[in-house]
Structure 1
Amino acid sequence: MLEVEIVPVLSDNFCYLVICGETKRAAAIDPAQPEPVLARADQLGVELVAIWNTHHHFDHTGGNEALLAKKKVDVYGPADSHIPGRTHDLDEGDTIELGNLTAKVIATPGHTLDGICYHVEDALFSGDALFAAGCGRLFEGDAEMMYESLNVTLAHLPDETRLFFGHEYTEKNLGFAVDVDPENAELRARFERVKAQRPRGEHTTPSTLGVERATNPFLRCGDEALRAALRARDGGKLDNNVAVFAKLRSLRDNW
């Protein structure tokens, strides 16, 4: 049985402890700061045996070596990438055993070329590829690559899949989403819920892929109401989904 523990690190990052409920073996996803991760593992009485990195950015891998100095664990991360302390290279379709759990690696380039997600039972750990109501900036990939990763590669996963993302950007992402998709009633309702949540210190992770497909503009590029709202801004053609995605990403980068 999968158990997930949310461990906030740095200013707005999420690390996750992925735990096998039967064996109490755990992996830390993107432990940018080792101290809170190790402390939470001790509190829960689980054995931390691995680090799983989603991509090479320092705010996701920067704690690897400090954690390794305190505890010897295996380090999994994308192949052909700078992952400090990596012991196991990962590519699309690879699997990792954690106690009685099996994680499948899904390549999702775009934010970075090496980006991967981990799919475990009903959970997807997406790093900086897919956020609640948003997606990662295109630091290394392009719009076509990122569109494909989020809207084609992940399309087979059911709506009930829980989405555990890498940063608490949800309120700002929703503000942008409402701005570009103002007729989406479900989106507006979600924004109001999150605006009430955040002052109480509540995390917005996890979401679900179903919620994202209904309210995340980067997963709704074929929606005609969204396209019409974007065309009304500057009269652009936006005659395919990748063009819509690129327009959304450009607007979000400057919002």
Structure 2
Amino acid sequence: MLSHSNSTDQGRFPEPLVCTVGCLFDNLAYLIICPESRECLLVDPGEYYPLIRAVGEQGLKLRGVCCSHHHRDHIDGLEELLADFPGLLVYGHPADRNRIPGMTTPLADGDTLRVGRLRGQIHHSPGHTRGSCLYRFAGALFTGDTLFTAGCGRLFEGTASEMYHSLQRISRSFSASTRLYPGHDYAQTNLEFGLALEPDNQAIGRQLSQLRTARDLGRGWQPTTLAQELELNLFLRCAHGQDLSPLLIAAGALEPGEHGAELVFAALRALRDRW
């Protein structure tokens, strides 16, 4: 049974099983599975067939869809799912009420939802879009296009200040062991950007080397943790309070004397847009 409430107390609930499903070119969608009931939620259905195949192959009972935002590459499979599963619950932020087809259950920041014995919570994270949001289930955080491995989303509707504060909230609100599940696999490009800006960062260099080796061996994308991202991710480090202005001055993205965390963050995002 799926339900929702506005309680912010997660309490003690089991960890979800998470199945990653590649969609389109580099989108990542997910099945959040209750290990006891085999009920599941689907995160960001960018493509119908890979997801419905995964649900069927694992013998799952699909109960709802969690939408991180309204962009088509994250919801293109939704209408076919609704045709096959009448009454399917569709979650998203109220800002996307008229932009996500068939949304049944708008959730405000802090509202909770359940599937089986799992409980999740929505966190509004504007910046990429007005309605961008995260979904947390125990130690798993589904970040849509707000936070990627070693990167963050472009600013389409929001501002650099909004994205800065959304990332700051992530860096300060969740445990270091939280596993991060983003909406795209941009890991290699983001790590290459980070290493170009900070060539002496051994953690970034090591992670990039490991990623290239894994891909040569045919291994797919794997989640990172918040602790890893606070080491690797320039955007998250900036939002967490690290001064990256010397790197950006050296790259010609800031003038000497320009300072302020949000200004530095905006310059970093603009540099990544041009890279």
The verdict on a shared fold, with TM-score over 0.5 as the criterion, is yes
- Secondary structure of the equivalent of 2:251? helix
Instruction: Show structure 2 runs of 5+ residues with no match.
Output: 1-13
2: CA distance, partners of 1:169 / 1:62: 20
TM-score by length of 2: 0.89
Q: 1:164 aligned to 2:184?
A: no
- 1:187 counterpart residue number: 204
- Secondary structure of the equivalent of 1:137? coil
**TM-fit CA distance, 1:151:** 1.3
- 1:242 counterpart residue number: 262
TM-score by length of 1: 0.96
Instruction: Show structure 1 runs of 5+ residues with no match.
Output: none
Quick check: 1:6–1:14 contact (8 Å CA) kept in 2?
yes
Q: 205, 229, 233: which one pairs with 2:251?
A: 233
**TM-fit CA distance, 1:154:** 4.4
With 128-137 and 189-198 compared, the bigger mean Cα shift is at 189-198
1: CA distance, partners of 2:218 / 2:274: 27
- 2:140 counterpart residue number: 123
- Secondary structure of the equivalent of 2:245? helix
Q: 87, 91, 106: which one pairs with 2:123?
A: 106
**TM-fit CA distance, 1:243:** 1.3
1: CA distance, partners of 2:133 / 2:207: 27
Deviations 1:57-104 (A, max 9, x none): 000011110111122311111113111111111110010011101100
**TM-fit CA distance, 1:152:** 2.6
**TM-fit CA distance, 1:183:** 2.2
Letter in 2 for 1:223: Q
Runs of 4+ aligned residues of structure 1 deviating over 4 Å after TM superposition are none
- 1:74 counterpart residue number: 89
How well do the aligned residues superpose, as a CA RMSD in angstroms? Answer: 1.3
2: CA distance, partners of 1:201 / 1:165: 20
2: CA distance, partners of 1:14 / 1:202: 15
Quick check: 1:54–1:127 contact (8 Å CA) kept in 2?
yes
Quick check: 1:165–1:205 contact (8 Å CA) kept in 2?
no
Letter in 2 for 1:102: R
Corresponding pairs, count: 254
- 1:26 counterpart residue number: 40
2: CA distance, partners of 1:10 / 1:36: 9
- Secondary structure of the equivalent of 1:175? helix
- 2:113 counterpart residue number: 96
